């Protein structure tokens, strides 16, 4: 995949990739370079007179809830170009600001660049959702569907509500069978499975980032008892809530 000036590329961590000026060039491990030099800014090359290229790289770290939803449902690669007529003015401005701020040595530049990258990611995902092929599946495809977006928003806003396929179908103005089929086709999983996955993602986040008891988390997520919550959590995550809070396996 060629990269041009001002391109923005987002690659999922599960996708190995190499950046090269020549497909035949021997790649260098970026993590090893940073580890060996202790620097985040470095020059690579033998000074053969070719045109210098500046690349800016970073990574996004998501909490448990966001990671579950995004990493499994995003395309392997998202690439946008500031010069493309379809690229929004917002994204062009953000890319330009990021380039300028990355070159500066002003106080707070590192923090500012971090926030700019978050905004760039949001704009990029919105662009992907707008341009998404009808055959694509996942959360972005669901949010791009006017009917399903209503159901997804309801699930996210009220995770403790006793949602059913019937109530969500009525909310979207669809028949039960039509809604269930549409949801599974576009989202890549059934309605009830998505509700369970969303609740467990919120549970993982709460167990690691809050002091709430297991019983309190269970009630916040709509479970009638701690035991019912623990059973569901163990089945989906692979360990008990207590074990997860103490540093048990991540999924």
The residue written with tokens 């996210």 in the block is 156
Which pLDDT does position 44 carry in this prediction?
65
pLDDT in tens, 209-244: 889 999 999 999 999 999 999 999 999 988 999 999
Side-chain-side CA neighbours of 237 within 13 Å: the count stands at: 29
Q: How far is CA 183 from the centre of its chain?
A: 20
Q: How many other β-carbons are positioned within 10 Å of the β-carbon of residue 103?
A: 11
pLDDT in tens, 76-128: 778 877 677 767 677 778 888 888 887 777 888 888 888 888 888 878 777 77
pLDDT in tens, 143-167: 888 899 999 999 999 999 999 999 9
- For residues 113 and 37, the model is more confident at 113
Q: Is the pLDDT of residue 182 over 60?
A: yes
CB neighbour class for 74 (10 Å; exposed up to 12, middle 13-18, buried from 19): middle
Which pLDDT does position 54 carry in this prediction?
76
Task: Answer yes or no: pTM beyond 0.95.
Answer: no
Which pLDDT does position 225 carry in this prediction?
94
Mean pLDDT of all residues in the chain? 82
Which pLDDT does position 128 carry in this prediction?
73
What share of the chain has pLDDT > 70, as a percent? 81
CB neighbour class for 235 (10 Å; exposed up to 12, middle 13-18, buried from 19): exposed
Which pLDDT does position 39 carry in this prediction?
58
Residue count (the chain)? 251
For CATH 1.10.10.60, the residue range(s) in the chain are 139-245
Q: Is the pLDDT of residue 63 over 70?
A: no
pLDDT confidence tier of residue 191, bands split at 50, 70 and 90: very high
Which pLDDT does position 33 carry in this prediction?
66
Q: Are 206 and 217 in contact (CB under 8 A)?
A: yes
Tokens of 21: 């000026």
Which pLDDT does position 251 carry in this prediction?
47
The β-bridge partners of 77 are 11
Q: Residue 162: which of 84, 103, 228 has the closest Cα?
A: 228
CB neighbour class for 99 (10 Å; exposed up to 12, middle 13-18, buried from 19): middle
The β-bridge partners of 78 are 10
Pick the CATH number of 139-245 from 1.10.10.60, 3.40.50.620, 3.40.50.720, 1.10.8.50: 1.10.10.60
């Amino acid at each position: 995949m060629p990269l041009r000036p001002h391109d923005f590329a987002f690659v999922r961590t599960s996708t190995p990739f190499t950046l090269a000026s020549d497909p035949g060039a021997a790649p260098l491990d970026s993590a090893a370079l940073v580890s060996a030099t202790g620097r985040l800014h470095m020059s690579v090359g033998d000074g053969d007179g070719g045109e210098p290229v500046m690349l800016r790289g970073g990574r996004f770290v998501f909490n448990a809830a966001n990671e579950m939803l995004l990493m499994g449902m995003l395309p392997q690669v998202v690439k946008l170009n500031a010069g493309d007529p379809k690229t929004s003015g917002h994204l062009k401005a953000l890319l330009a600001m990021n380039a300028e701020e990355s070159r500066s040595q002003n106080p707070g530049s590192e923090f500012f660049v971090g926030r700019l990258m978050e905004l760039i990611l949001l704009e990029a995902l919105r662009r992907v959702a707008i341009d998404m092929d009808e055959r694509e599946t996942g959360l972005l495809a669901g949010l791009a569907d006017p009917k399903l977006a209503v159901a997804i928003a309801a699930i996210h806003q009220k995770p403790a509500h006793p949602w059913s396929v019937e109530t969500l179908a009525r909310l979207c103005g669809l028949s039960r069978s039509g809604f269930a089929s549409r949801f599974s086709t576009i989202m890549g999983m059934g309605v009830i499975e998505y509700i369970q996955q969303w609740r467990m993602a919120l549970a993982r986040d709460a167990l690691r980032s809050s002091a709430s008891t297991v019983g309190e988390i269970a009630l916040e997520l709509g479970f009638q008892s701690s035991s019912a919550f623990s059973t569901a959590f163990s089945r989906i995550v692979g360990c008990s809530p207590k074990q997860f809070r103490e540093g048990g396996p991540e999924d």
